[in-house]
Each structure stands twice: as structure tokens, then as C-alpha cells.
Amino acid sequence: MDLMSILSSQMGSAFIGQIAGKYFGGNSKMAQMAISAALPMLIGALARNSSKQEGANQLASALDNDHDGGILDDLTGFLGGNHQNQRAANGAGILKHLLGDKRSNVENAISQNVGVDAASTGGLLETLAPIVLGQLGREKRQNNLDANGLAQLLNQNRQEIERKQPAKQRNFIMNLLDQDGDGKIDENIKRKGLGILGSLFRRR
């Protein structure tokens, strides 16, 4: 199950246009690049957190309680702030749990890759996080996945993301998430990894 492909199919040109207008001064190409860089980061963080049983259990519980996939049925409304389940739409809360003090690392990596400011990247991440969890919650229900099944699904997707990277750039996302939370990216990691983020999953 390729989460990147499924999520990309949810985000058509209208969605990209809304994201561009909201965060990137109407530049749809820049919005697409930022989304293509952000999604692997979020999937990688989910895989990292669920690699331990406690994290997998917490994710399964969160999906059951708050992320049934309904957010995917009206992305336009969600972007406009019209979503009744506020817990499902709370991107900042999701990122706090998912990334913790690594959030600044992720924001800076995407910002440097795409060439935008960290505030725009932060807003984008807060928008995408509920969508990713919504899709994951839908997959959980449709495929009757338990906590271990979710962890396996996320690990498979993380491995697929890494497989598409050149050998010298593999594990970039995991290494970035393991950096301390000061927002400063190690030069070796940055040199090896940043260039691949926007190109791996860009629409053709």
C-alpha cells in the first residue's frame, strides 16, 4: 500500500492552488515542491514513532478516536477552517506529538530545500498532518489493521521512500529526526539529503 501515491491522488490541482494561495504567494509549483518534501517527512516520523510498541498503540488509539478519514471528504472545507471535529483538524497538536522538539529540524529542512520561509513550511505541515492521519485512519478501518499492522504499513512505506533515494542519501529522514531539536541541521546530513526531497515525489 503506497501511502505517498494515495495521498497525492487526494491532492488535486484545486487543493494545490489553495495551498499555494494560503502559504506560498500563489506559486503552485512551489506549493507542490513543499508538499512533496513534507509528506515523506511526516510518514517517516510516523514510522519512527510507531516502531516501538507504545508508540504504535498510541497511534492506533488516536486513529480510532479522532481520525476516521472524514477530513478527506471535504478538503476545501478543511482548508477554509470548516471542520467539525477540531481534534482531527488540530495540526499543531498532531505535530507536537509526532515531532516534538524535532519540528524545527523538519521545517528548516523543507524550507531550505524549497526556498521558502519556515513560517510557510510550518503552516503547511499543520495542514498536511491531519490529512495524513485521516488517510491512515481510513486505511486502518478498511483493512482492519491493529497497532502492529499500522507499524508494519508505515515501516514498509518508509523503506520504499528510502529505496527511491540514491544509496548515499538513504536514511536522511531518520537521521534528521534523530538530530537534537535546535533546528540546526548537521552539514553532512544536509549535503546528502536535502536535494532529493522535492524531486522524489514531484508530479510529472
Is the pLDDT at 12 greater than 70, yes or no?
A: yes
Is the pLDDT at 193 greater than 60, yes or no?
A: no
pTM for this prediction: 0.85
What amino acid is encoded at 19 in this protein?
I
Name the band, by pLDDT with cuts 50, 70 and 90, for residue 183: low
Residue 203, pLDDT score: 38
Name which of 126, 138, 104 is nearest 3 in CA terms.
138
What amino acid is encoded at 42 in this protein?
L
Mean pLDDT of 4-11: 89
Residue 151, pLDDT score: 96
Q: Which residues contact 30 (CB under 8 A, 6 or more apart)?
A: 20, 24, 114, 115, 116
Of 28-32, 104-108, 132-136, minimum mean pLDDT range:
104-108
Residue 125, pLDDT score: 96
Host domain of residue 172: 3-200
Domain count, the chain: 1
Backbone phi, then psi, for 145, in 5-degree steps?
-90, 135
